[in-house]
Amino acid sequence: MSTRKPEIRIFVSRRIDVDSVSVPNPLYVPVRCGAVFDHSASPIQGDDTGDNISQKRMTFCELTVQYWAWKNREADYYGLCHYRRYLSFSGKAYRLNEHGLVPWPELTERAMQRFGLLDEEKMRETISAYDLVIPQPAPVEKIPLPHGKARTVRTLWEAHDGIFFHKRIIGRMFELIAQLAPAYLQAAKEYFSGRWHCGYNCYVMNRELFGRLCELQFPILNALEKEGYGEGEFSRSPAYVGEMLFGIFCYQAEVYEKKKVLKVPLVWFSETTPAKNRLEQFQRTAAFWTDKAVRKLAAPFFPLGSKRRETLKQYYRRFAHGKTGK
């Protein structure tokens, strides 16, 4: 007698202006984020069909893909990852950087094998044994900031006031949690008072938890958008709040609901487009490690999250890639 395998779908949020490599594993479902703005003839699924919020890409970022999956696809387990951020399923430990990530030069087949992205059966076995798979949290005091060090998750986010958003949005988020999702209020207070940051909106979780995550995030984000958050200079403010709510949700699930949670390394790939040849691949790898060294030397003068650093990044992207973006 055969046992039905759980339906696992990990939705990969792809940029419409980057031809990223797709992981050849049927568990991954690539989806173009903000596909309503894509006028190409791409065969890759977009987030602009059925019930969707594709037009909110600039304010909700990858969460438009999450919303599309919620409203248009059925699964036993839902996951979300980013075109350059993937959860590792190798079962191995890696040295994490100060942001809690494993940086890697390029998304190649060899890298996919290294981090367990191609082993469908092992991934199925791992995922089905847990309620929730999330990135390993990062201690806030090690995350570089424009000024000083963070002591709590709240001070970590507040340190980006005037850079990514106006910090008053954090207070407003707490008010909306109290109004719209009071069951999460105590967890929100404790998580924001703690020192472990859980972010990046990358996960795999069972259907019940996924539905509840969406029911927590989207009413609050929609309310913030209606109030004008997300307009002007800080268009991505709602997306950052979505990331805050993700951390709160994970804390609630683990601490209060005692769900089975697996924390794995989150890998960040510097390059995701296919290299033309071995020479280009070598050049990319060399550039990655050189860039890493330069960043370390430049950090005291261009702190992470500072306006100086953000301005420098924009100029660099225009010069090196002819584009801007996340």
Given 231, 253, 269, the domain boundary residue is 269
3-class DSSP state of 203:
strand
Instruction: Tell me, yes or no, whether 175 lies in a domain.
Output: yes
Instruction: Tell me, yes or no, whether 2 lies in a domain.
Output: no
Which percentage of the chain shows pLDDT scores above 90? 77
pLDDT at 206: 98
Same domain, residue pair 101 and 135: yes
Encoded tokens for 292: 């890493």
Q: Which residues pair with 28 in a beta bridge?
A: 10
Q: The CATH number of the domain where 123 resides is what?
A: 3.90.550
Q: Is 141 within 8 Å of 149 (Cβ atoms)?
A: yes
Selection from 306, 299, 271 nearest residue 285 by Cα: 271
Instruction: Tell me, yes or no, whether 303 lies in a domain.
Output: yes
| Residue 309 clears pLDDT 50, i.e. is over it | yes
Same domain, residue pair 84 and 22: yes
Q: What is the largest CA-CA distance in the chain?
A: 64
- pLDDT tens for 120-175 read 999 999 999 999 999 999 999 999 887 789 999 999 999 999 989 999 999 999 99
219-231 average pLDDT score: 95
- Helices 168-180 and 207-226, packing angle to 10 deg: 120
The Cα 216–Cα 86 span in angstroms is 23
Instruction: Tell me, yes or no, whether 193 lies in a domain.
Output: yes
CA distances for 108 relative to 105, 190, 200, angstroms: 9, 40, 22
Instruction: Tell me, yes or no, whether 27 lies in a domain.
Output: yes
Instruction: Tell me, yes or no, whether 326 lies in a domain.
Output: no
Same domain, residue pair 173 and 212: yes
pLDDT at 317: 57
Same domain, residue pair 47 and 149: yes
State how many domains the chain has: 2
Q: Is 196 within 8 Å of 140 (Cβ atoms)?
A: yes
CA distances for 206 relative to 29, 49, 66, 219, 303, angstroms: 16, 24, 14, 21, 38
pLDDT at 220: 98
3-class DSSP state of 212:
helix
The Cα 233–Cα 216 span in angstroms is 26
Range of the domain at 17: 8-269
pLDDT at 320: 53
Instruction: Tell me, yes or no, whether 131 lies in a domain.
Output: yes
Same domain, residue pair 144 and 89: yes
| Residue 259 clears pLDDT 80, i.e. is over it | yes
pLDDT top residue among 226 and 233: 226
Same domain, residue pair 264 and 312: no
- pLDDT tens for 170-223 read 999 999 999 999 999 999 999 999 999 999 999 999 999 999 999 999 999 999
Mean pLDDT of the chain: 91
Helices (H), the chain: 57-60, 63-72, 109-114, 120-128, 153-158, 168-180, 185-193, 207-226, 237-251, 278-298, 307-320
Identify the band that residue 105 occupies on the pLDDT scale cut at 50, 70 and 90.
very high
